[in-house]
Every structure is written in structure tokens, then in C-alpha cells.
């Protein structure tokens, strides 16, 4: 994230989407599998170890990257999240997945200035939408948490891609993208 981006995020109260997503997914795991949740923040590259005394599983959700993409007349938000579920006793990864999602430019007629206006209100709304898509993907497809509300939901996509949506699995960002 560039210096301007860090300042904009700090000054406008834009919160890392992984924070709320981690809490939501932890609660969903606890409810679905009768687990107790004990929150501890891991650094990006830290692996759960003996500091997790008494725990069987650890969930790490982190924002890999997010940025604003622009063409000649539109701007939209792209978010890349990664979730990893660790088995503490076996010291191995149970499951891990990436979700990169964006609000397609056809669904937004916002210019860059409109996207960041009013303390980034439209930007925050777009981040919420893409985070919700990744939440659904991680919950249903990565962690296999399904409830009655999922009865009519789409089948889990291969590699995080839902037909009709611009949702990509672990695509590397292009160098020409404007970083937030």
C-alpha cells in the first residue's frame, strides 16, 4: 500500500475486512462444530504453535491485498483474502484457500473521485460487498459450513470462481493497478 493509501485508510476509518471476517467465520465454525472460540491475532506469516495451549484448531484470515482498479470512466474495488485452518496437535494445515473478488465495473458507474468521496463511503460499501462474497465462499466451500439458509445456494465453484461474477482465485495483481 502506498503512503497516500495508508493515510487515506487511516484518516477515513477504513477497517481491514479480514478482522470482521475472521470473527464471523470463527463464530460459524464454533456453532457448526460445537467448538469454543479463543481469539488470538497471528502475524501474517506466523504458524500456530505451543502458544495455543488447549486449542485443537486455529483459523487465520488475512487480507493479502486490496486496491482500486480504474478504466477511463469507472473505478471499483478488488479484494484478495486468504483463510487457513490449522490443526494445532498435528501441526499441519487442514484447509487453506484464497478469494479474490471485485465489484464489476458494469455494476458501478462511479469515478475514482466519487468512490473515495464522503470519507470513502462508496469504497467502504464496495469492500463490504466483496467481503460478503468471500465470506460465503470460505464458509460454505472452504470450511464446509452449510445451514438451512444455503438450500438454494450455488454449488461451490472450482477455485473460488462463481459464474456470472468476477471472482478470481489467487490471481496476482497487475503492476499497473492503483494501490489503495
For the stretch 80-96, pLDDT in tens is: 899 988 888 888 889 99
* Entry pTM: 0.76
Q: For residues 34 and 14, what is the distance between their CA atoms, to the nearest angstrom?
A: 33
- Going from N- to C-terminal start, the domains of the chain cover 3-179
Q: 63 near 16, Cβ under 8 Å?
A: yes
Q: pLDDT of 4-42, one tens digit each?
A: 677 878 888 888 899 889 989 999 998 988 887 776 666
What pLDDT shows up at residue 25?
93
Grid-cell match 463490504, residue found: 128
- Residue 41 CB neighbour total at 10 angstroms: 8
Amino acid at each position: 500500500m502506498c503512503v497516500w493509501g495508508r493515510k487515506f485508510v487511516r484518516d477515513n476509518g477504513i477497517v481491514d475486512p479480514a478482522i470482521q471476517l475472521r470473527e464471523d467465520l470463527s463464530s460459524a465454525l464454533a456453532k457448526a462444530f460445537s467448538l469454543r472460540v479463543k481469539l488470538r491475532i497471528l502475524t501474517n506469516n506466523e504458524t500456530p504453535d505451543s502458544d495455543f495451549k488447549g486449542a485443537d484448531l486455529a483459523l487465520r484470515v488475512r487480507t493479502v491485498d486490496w486496491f482500486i482498479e480504474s478504466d477511463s470512466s469507472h473505478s471499483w474495488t478488488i479484494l484478495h483474502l486468504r483463510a487457513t485452518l490449522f490443526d494445532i496437535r498435528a501441526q499441519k494445515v487442514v484447509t487453506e484457500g484464497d478469494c479474490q473478488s471485485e465489484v464489476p465495473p458494469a455494476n458501478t458507474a462511479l469515478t475514482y473521485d466519487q468512490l473515495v468521496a464522503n470519507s470513502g463511503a462508496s469504497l467502504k460499501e464496495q469492500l463490504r460487498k466483496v467481503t460478503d462474497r468471500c465470506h460465503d465462499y470460505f464458509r460454505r466451500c472452504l470450511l464446509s459450513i452449510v445451514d438451512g439458509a444455503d438450500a438454494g445456494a450455488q454449488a461451490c465453484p472450482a477455485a473460488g470462481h462463481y459464474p456470472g461474477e468476477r471472482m478470481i482465485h489467487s490471481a496476482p495483481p497487475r503492476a499497473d493497478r492503483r494501490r489503495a
